[in-house]
Each structure stands twice: as structure tokens, then as C-alpha cells.
Chains A and B, each alone.
Chain A
Amino acid sequence: QTVVTQEPSLTVSPGGTVTLTCASSTGAVTSGYYPNWFQQKPGQAPRALIYSTSNKHSWTPARFSGSLLGGKAALTLSGVQPEDEAEYYCLLYYGGALVFGGGTKLTVL
């Protein structure tokens, strides 16, 4: 069974920079896993932020960026705002099937 792993929790100060990562139990994450990133706030549906590793949606704030880093997919927030406090999920593609990561709870403190 494929497992996608994210940091369970991270804390960042307002205005700071933080990087969330997404690892696959099958090995290094490459562009062929077409990583997606989603933000979810309590009681809300997820909202897509990034697709295909690094592409932003039209509504994605400029402070969010996606990349590949050290064999993992990564989501970097630069100049974090209080409203960025949320759960963040990555989603990887495995030749047809999709698997979500366990999520990272980001606290802005």
C-alpha cells in the first residue's frame, strides 16, 4: 500500500517562510507524480493551490509556490499571513490512482 507522508505539524511566525514537504513510500517524487497541493480550513471543503508540481491556480496567492526538493514535493509559503493557518494536503498521481498525504497542520504564531 502506497503511503504519502507529510509533516504532521509546523509552526511559523507571521511574515516568515515555511516549507511543507510530501514524500512517497515508493521513492523519490518526480514531476510525473503531478503533485497537487490543497488548503483546508476547519469546516470547509479543500481548496486547490498548486497543480502539476508548481503551477498556481488563478486564485492562489503569490506567496505560495510549489517545487520538487530533495526527492519530495514541496510547498513554500513566503511572507506567511495569519489567514494561512490551515491544514495542507498534497496529492500524488500513481498511474491512474491518486493518494493524499496525511496533511500538515500549519500554525501561524
Chain B
Amino acid sequence: QVQLVQSGAEVKKPGASVKVSCKASGYTFTSYAMHWVRQAPGQRLEWMGWINAGNGNTKYSQKFQGRVTITRDTSASTAYMELSSLRSEDTAVYYCARATWVRDSSGKPRGWYFDLWGRGTLVTVSS
């Protein structure tokens, strides 16, 4: 079964770090990218960054640069998102999402194709 299974809810204190995992199954993990998106309570979706699960290259949102690290373990078909220096505003549901960078038949880029999401991991930051 093709799915992304995320780790369970976390409660952290301000200043701490959190590491959320996203285990892929049912497909070739290294053939896709994995994006991370978060959503604070009642707020918009917020893109955090992505990793090329094949070569490990990453790209982060400027907003989270320096605080977020996305990694992967190909032997475990698992992607990780670690966020440091947590503050209350980081309380959110964190999602992983599988995506492919698509091109048309002539090789022209067509952008990202998102097709599979995890169910989300609630991270609560509270003293």
C-alpha cells in the first residue's frame, strides 16, 4: 500500500528541538522528492522545504533557513524534518508530502506534482 506514515504527536518546551519522521511504503522512496508543510491552528498552509530523496539535496524556505533540517535515511525509506529553537508560534501540524518535478514530452518543466500526503504530526510548543 502506497502511504506515508508520520511519527506521533510531540510536546516540546520553548528552545528545544523536534524531529518528525515520515516513513514511506509501497513505492521506490528514492524516486521522489519529499516536501514538508506545516499548518498552525486555524492558519494557512506553510511550505518549509524539500529533499530529493535520491541524492539528499535540500531546499528550504527562507523563513526557516537556519532552523530547519530535512534529511532522509534511504535504508529505512524515511524522511525527517528537524526544527530547532522552538517557540510557541511553531505549534502546528506538520505534514510530509511526496512530489515529483514533472516535465512535458519536450522536456519543458511543468512544476511540482504532489500526489501523496502524510496524515500530519501535531507539535505543541509550551512551557
Interface residues of A (CB under 8 A from B): 34-36, 38, 40, 45-48, 51-52, 55, 57, 89, 91, 93, 96-103
Contact = CB atoms under 8 A, between A and B. Distances in A.
Contacts of B44: 89, 100-103
Interface stretch (B8-16, B81-89, B108-116): B108-116
Contacts, number: 63
Interface secondary structure of B, over-half rule: strand
B110 A34 contact: yes
Contacts of B37: 46, 100
Contacts of A103: 44-45
Interface of B: 35, 37, 44-47, 59, 61-62, 95, 97, 102, 109-115, 117-120
Given A45-B120, A46-B117, A93 B45 contact: no
B63 to A, nearest CB: 8
Contact of B95 (A35, A46, A57): A46
A49 to B, nearest CB: 10
A34 B112 contact: yes
B46 A100 contact: yes
A36 B59 CA distance: 18
A39 B14 CA distance: 32
Q: Which of B59, B95, B112, B120 has the most CB of A within 10 A?
A: B112
Given A38-B45, A46-B45, A93 B112 contact: yes
A45 to B, nearest CB: 4
